[in-house]
Structure 1
Amino acid sequence: MYPGEYQLVGSEMSFFTRKLEAQLRCQQVPWRYLFKTEQRKAELEARAGTHFIPLLLTPDKWLIQDTIAIGPMLSQRFRARGVVPETPLQRTCCYILEDAFNHWLGRVCVHSRWCYPDNVAWIGPRFGANLMLDRSIEEPFSEAELEQFAPIGPMMYEGFGKGVCEVNGAGPDQAAAVQGDFRNMLDALAVHFANNDFLLGERPCLADFALAGASKAHFICDPEPKSWLGEHSAMLHEYTGRFFSDWQGELVPWPAHDRVPDSLQIVLDYLQGSYYQSAPANIAAGLAGEKYYEFDYGFGTTRARTQKRLNLARLHVQDELQRLGAGENADIQALFASRGILQHYMA
């Protein structure tokens, strides 16, 4: 591993950019932002072979994409502050929860950002700060800048936001369902975080960065989802704030004897009724060559576009579970088997 500074290429308004930022901060990796500006866009995309963000430029001159791959790599490189447990049950929970939050939270992110005109108007100048001015959204805007960047939000809605909401089954007609599901998630997290700082206890793992990234880029950032937080506002702000302030001292050890918090079952109950109603149907339809699939996560039938990437992520988790011997591990079986979650990955 070459010493030196890592450069995070992306946008502060991006779920997955913030996810990776949370990990870099937690592991105390030397890093800085390199915003994906209009001036840098063509060169970066040509080199990376993708238009997706984030990208991570390493001191070894690698330019890599996909937080699912970057996360374990950084955990191993900076293993003194590793964020992937080694014991079977904790490691299983880490990878399963990361997969679920990676792919389920995106529906709330795109819906809350793009389906409400006032929110669309607000986010435009924030995208403009990173894309056009090469500066953080934390810097104040002048009146002239707010006026200059006012068209960006509506333009992005027409070119991107509207379509991505439709293909994810999260358009304006799904407002009650998306908001209801979001409340269910907050209720579950509130019970868990009442006695735990992070998902696996007192040490953060890969899955925490997904949840914190979505929260920082969307849920406690955009005005619309902020208005949905209600009694859980302080909880989510405090949780997210742990990742985006200076980390002091060493990380505590993982819980002894491969334990996970009892309240994690409440989070899994929520995911069992939401993401794991969607993902198996999504993957089955995609493998059958269907472009769309239907599922019900407690709010009536939802129709969405199949995603090939979802099965690739499932196989990534499957590889970890097979290596851990999850099918024969009594603790893993006790927590997951009756939920259908383990079967989803091992099939």
Structure 2
Amino acid sequence: MYKGDYQLVGSEMSFFTRKLEAQLRFQNIPWSWRFKTEERKAELEARAGTHFIPLLATPDKWLLNDTIAIGPMLNERFPQHPVVPESPLQRACCYILEDAFNHWLGRVCVHSRWCYPDNVTWVGPRFGANMMLDRSIETPFSADELEQLAGIGPMMYEGFGKNVCQYNGVGPDQAEAVKGDFQNMLDALAAHFANNDFLLGQRPCLADFALAGASKAHFICDPEPTSWLGEHREMMFDYTERFFTDWDTTTDSWPEEDQLPDTLSVLLDYLQGTYFKFATANIAAGLAGEKYYEYDYGFGLTRARTQKRLNVARLHVQDELLRLGADTNITIKEVFAGRGILEHYLA
């Protein structure tokens, strides 16, 4: 590969941009921001073939999109700081947890950002800092700048936020369910992080970057979801900020002999009753050609629009699991026995 700096193209307010930033930082990859400004937008989208962010510009002149593909690629390019375990059980969990957090957390992100008018007002200038001013949200705003950028939040709500919440079944009428589920997730994370710094123990993996990205861009950033953290505020701030400071390259390894932290079962219990209810119903409806589906994650029926991407991601994980021989690996089968999770991917 060519030597040189990588450019992270996106927004500091973006879940997946922050996810990729967390990985770049942990792997000590030379990188810099290139905000997706209105001025650069047309050129970047024409070259990348997508309007989605983030994009990663590599020293060898590639412009890549989709963190699901970028993450493993960077793991291979920078093996001195691995983020995907080699042992079968840990590797399987890494990909399964990444898939779950990638797609489940987005619901909370869009609901908490766009369903609360005060939050919409607050996020607008922060989007404007990146898109219009080509600078970080950390730079203080002048009164004139706040006035200049005041309309961005409402404009983005009308053009994007309102619809994306409706399509995901997390509109204002679902506030009680979204907040209740978010609290359940925080409780599960608290049980796990009481004795572990990261999801697989004392070293982060791809799945951690997804959780940290959502938290950095939304949960500890936007005023509304930050107000939901309650007793878990310190836990989420501490966990998240580990990824956005300078890393010690002597970070501990994953547990020996392909072991998992005991408390990972608490997170699997949570995801079994939430993400995998959602994903199974979503994919089945999509494959049947249905535009909408219903599922229950513990708060009554939720109706949402099907997403083709979920099955694409499932097949990506399926490929990894088949390479590991997960369908015949006794240890992997024991950990996931009775959960329906392996069956979801291997069907």
Query: What TM-score range do you get, normalising by the shorter chain?
Result: over 0.9
Cα distance in 2, alignment partners of residues 251 and 232 from structure 1: 24
Matched ranges for 1:145-164 at <5 A: 145-164=145-164
Q: Percent same amino acid among aligned pairs?
A: 78
Aligned AA (1:103): H
Cα distance in 1, alignment partners of residues 336 and 3 from structure 2: 40
Matched ranges for 1:166-315 at <5 A: 166-315=166-315
SS in 2 for 1:242: helix
The two structures, once aligned, show a CA RMSD in angstroms of 0.5
Cα distance in 2, alignment partners of residues 219 and 173 from structure 1: 20
Cα distance in 1, alignment partners of residues 90 and 153 from structure 2: 41
Cα distance in 2, alignment partners of residues 71 and 226 from structure 1: 27
Aligned AA (1:75): N
SS in 2 for 1:345: helix
2:85 aligned partner: 85
1:116 aligned partner: 116
Alpha-carbon displacement from aligned partner over 1:221-258 (angstroms, at most 9, x marks no partner): 00000000000000000000110011023232221100
- Show structure 1 runs of 5+ residues with no match: none
Cα distance in 2, alignment partners of residues 120 and 235 from structure 1: 25
Give the conservation status (yes or no) of the 8 Å contact 1:90–1:260: yes
Deviation at 1:334, TM superposition (A): 1.1
* TM-score scaled by length of structure 1: 0.99
2:31 aligned partner: 31
1:69 aligned partner: 69
Give the conservation status (yes or no) of the 8 Å contact 1:120–1:153: yes
Deviation at 1:337, TM superposition (A): 2.4
Cα distance in 2, alignment partners of residues 121 and 252 from structure 1: 42
SS in 1 for 2:202: coil
Deviation at 1:331, TM superposition (A): 1.3
SS in 2 for 1:326: coil
- Show structure 2 runs of 5+ residues with no match: none
Alpha-carbon displacement from aligned partner over 1:24-47 (angstroms, at most 9, x marks no partner): 000000000000000000000000
Aligned AA (2:240): T
Tell me how many residue pairs correspond in the alignment: 347
Give the conservation status (yes or no) of the 8 Å contact 1:278–1:297: yes
Cα distance in 2, alignment partners of residues 253 and 159 from structure 1: 45
Alpha-carbon displacement from aligned partner over 1:37-76 (angstroms, at most 9, x marks no partner): 0000000000000000000000000000000000000011
> Following TM superposition, where does structure 1 have runs of at least 4 consecutive aligned residues deviating by more than 4 angstroms?
none
Give the conservation status (yes or no) of the 8 Å contact 1:81–1:251: no
Give the conservation status (yes or no) of the 8 Å contact 1:337–1:343: no
Cα distance in 1, alignment partners of residues 128 and 199 from structure 2: 34
Give the conservation status (yes or no) of the 8 Å contact 1:169–1:303: yes
SS in 1 for 2:195: coil
Does structure 1 residue 20 correspond to structure 2 residue 33? no
2:40 aligned partner: 40
1:132 aligned partner: 132
Alpha-carbon displacement from aligned partner over 1:75-127 (angstroms, at most 9, x marks no partner): 11001001000110000000000000000000000000000000000000000
* TM-score scaled by length of structure 2: 0.99
Cα distance in 2, alignment partners of residues 51 and 80 from structure 1: 33
